[in-house]
Structure 1
């Protein structure tokens, strides 16, 4: 189960109550900064924008590729470690609005993580250090450190131990 906080709503679906949960002006500010960032070719400037204006916690030398879409309502709930790569057109959500409730959850992406293009990361998910998430994956649960995961629904393809074994097989030490 993802780690999310659940908030019940009365009457119409939760999206009709959006501005009771988050300020319109905050959403507008976040949307504008994110749209600039999505097209920004300079990673240092993009990371500075997201850290300074959106309060995202982004590690050193982390790369958010072209068109990455951080959460427009609660970007401060996203943490990305050092030296990670978030692939083209990936969406990172820290909220979800449903019929009778809305949910918020922190997204924690570790260091040295590779997220493939066109992936979607749902709220309340943690991706451990050194993990690899293949392209077009719906990350709906935690990914342990060092694992390779992929698919829809997401599955663990290789555990950290299996990944280490494969690295050893791919790089045999030649003897003289």
Structure 2
């Protein structure tokens, strides 16, 4: 992170967590929203938002019950993803969550009483090293076993076992993974922090390659429709 991002994260993002491990990495921090208490994360959390693709972590209090979000180590959360808890959402270490996913442990309104949540909430458990594809939806009461992959656009309404690929609406197992093969997890990226930092710096330089001081000044004083 550059100096401005680091200041913003330390001043506004990190204090919003009840506990947060070291090594957090955030892109576009102004597009990160963290609401409510009971939100914790381990080390090397990657929160990647972008303009128009807000990342939101939120908990809700109902009476004496307050939702909780517990995120493990080395978890990736991509732009546009919303994680909202009425009861409890647990996300295991090394999990990757692609863009525009929605994870919620509540329907938020009863089928017939649209003014109340009533009993329409149950905790979510996402195991370690899970991969959620783009625009996946995970509903209340679901458990996803470790190493499993949820296909893009899938809607998970029932438990998915470990070591498989599931897809569809509702999501169903379409293939079993070969457990005799080694899974290389995100945590391996952090065994060489110098290389990782250089790789991330190269990536940001590529993404920002067209940004110039003159272009920034023009966008401030004479913005166009594409700014």
Whether contact under 8 Å (2:45, 2:73) holds in the other structure is: no
> Pairwise mapping of residues 24-39 of structure 1 onto structure 2 (< 5 A)?
39=31
CA distance in 2, matches of 1:91, 1:37: 19
CA distance in 2, matches of 1:121, 1:105: 12
Whether contact under 8 Å (2:57, 2:83) holds in the other structure is: no
Q: CA separation of 1:55/1:154 partners in 2, compared to 1, >3 Å: closer, same or farther?
A: closer
Task: Identify which of 58, 61, 65 aligns with 2:78.
Answer: 65
Partner of 1:164: 178
TM-score (ref. length: structure 1)? 0.61
Higher relative helix content? 1
The count of aligned residue pairs is: 126
CA distance in 2, matches of 1:77, 1:150: 24
Partner of 1:20: none
- 1:128 matches 2:145: yes
CA distance in 2, matches of 1:111, 1:38: 28
> What do residues 25-84 of structure 1 show as CA deviations (whole Å, max 9, x unaligned)?
xxxx9xxxxxx97934xx74749x959xx741100001111111111x52x511000000
TM-score (ref. length: structure 2)? 0.48
Secondary structure (helix, strand or coil) at the match of 1:144 reads coil
CA distance in 1, matches of 2:74, 2:45: 8
**Structure 2: gaps of 5 or more residues:** 1-15, 17-27, 33-43, 49-55, 59-66, 113-117, 182-227
CA distance in 1, matches of 2:93, 2:179: 25
Whether contact under 8 Å (1:38, 1:66) holds in the other structure is: no
Q: CA separation of 1:99/1:61 partners in 2, compared to 1, >3 Å: closer, same or farther?
A: same
**Structure 1: gaps of 5 or more residues:** 1-28, 30-35, 168-176
Q: CA separation of 1:112/1:44 partners in 2, compared to 1, >3 Å: closer, same or farther?
A: closer
Secondary structure (helix, strand or coil) at the match of 2:178 reads helix
Q: CA separation of 1:50/1:69 partners in 2, compared to 1, >3 Å: closer, same or farther?
A: closer
CA distance in 1, matches of 2:29, 2:143: 23
